[in-house]
Amino acid sequence: MTVDIKHLGHSAFLITSNKKSILIDPFISGNPKSENINFDDYHITDIFVTHAHSDHIGDTIDLAKQTGAKVNAVFEVANYCAQKGVKTQGLNIGGKVNFPIGTCKFYQAAHSSSLPDGSYGGIAASLIFEISGKTIYHAGDTGLFSDLKMIGELHSIDLALLPVGGTFTMDVADARIAKLWLRAKKVFPMHYNTFDVINVNKEKLKDL
């Protein structure tokens, strides 16, 4: 079974396999550079949120209501979403959740997490997905930290989605090291050029 991965801008991805889809960090309406997409064309069963910051939780509540998808996130983020009236599954680091086309395991990210109302968002996560025989790592907003070696040791990663914009996350140079530590077969850059403060020169990206 093939796995189709669409980058929707920033750290947002739509992953489809066997006619079912999931969304990760769907920051769409607030993103000046997001991809225009009609979510009604997809059967979205689950939304995954790496942490509570507005450029990750994004349109999660509205899209969960529109599609009926379940929101999977760290306990504090899941509680916040549940209070807004959507289906949720709260997890924490080390937890694993099943969804119709695969599984997702929660690891730590070296980052902070606060909700749009300023309340505590719990720990920031990075996510290992197993979908139709492929292993995909979404690193969230992490900086370079040694857990990436552990994750690389425990999983045979086909594709790592890594932030490269710097300032709030890893930059390109650190992402090169992360790629080695993760032993990822392929990497795809995210979390850059959305705002001026995370601009990355296209030439520099070739280093990855």
The one segment of 122-130, 135-143, 172-180, 182-190 that binds Mn ion by CB under 5 A = 135-143
Segment lying near Mn ion (by CB under 5 A), choices 15-23, 48-56, 67-75, 151-159: 48-56
Q: Looking at beta carbons only, is 3 or 141 nearer to Ni ion? A: 141
The verdict on 191 binding Ni ion (CB under 5 A) reads no
Instruction: Say whether residue 155 binds Ni ion (CB under 5 A).
Output: no
Q: Return d(Cα 58, Cα 52) in angstroms, integer.
A: 9
Token pair for residue 112?
């902070």
Cβ 67 vs Cβ 74: under 8 Å: no
Residue with tokens 């396999």: 17
**Least distance to Ni ion, CB of residue 119, Å:** 15
Q: Does 53 bind Ni ion (CB under 5 A)?
A: yes
- Chain center to CA of 180: 20
Q: Which of 141, 155, 160, 184 binds Mn ion (CB under 5 A)?
A: 141
Q: How many residues bind Ni ion (CB under 5 A)?
A: 2
Q: Is 55 in the site for Mn ion (CB under 5 A)?
A: yes
The answer to whether 179 contacts Ni ion (rule: CB under 5 A) is no
Establish if 141 lies at the interface with Ni ion (CB under 5 A): yes
Q: Please name the residue that has the structure tokens 């929707």.
A: 8
Give me the least distance between CB of 92 and Mn ion, in Å please. Answer: 20
Q: Is 25 in the site for Ni ion (CB under 5 A)?
A: no
What is the closest distance, in whole angstroms, from the C-beta atom of residue 114 to Ni ion in the complex?
9
Strands of the chain, DSSP E: 4-7, 13-17, 20-24, 44-48, 70-74, 88-91, 96-99, 102-108, 125-131, 134-138, 159-163, 186-190
Asked if residues 34 and 18 have their Cβ atoms less than 8 Å apart, the reply is: no
Please say whether the dihedral angle defined by the alpha carbons of residues 90, 187, 23 and 61, taken in this order, is positive or negative.
positive
Contact residues for Mn ion, defined by CB under 5 A? 55, 141
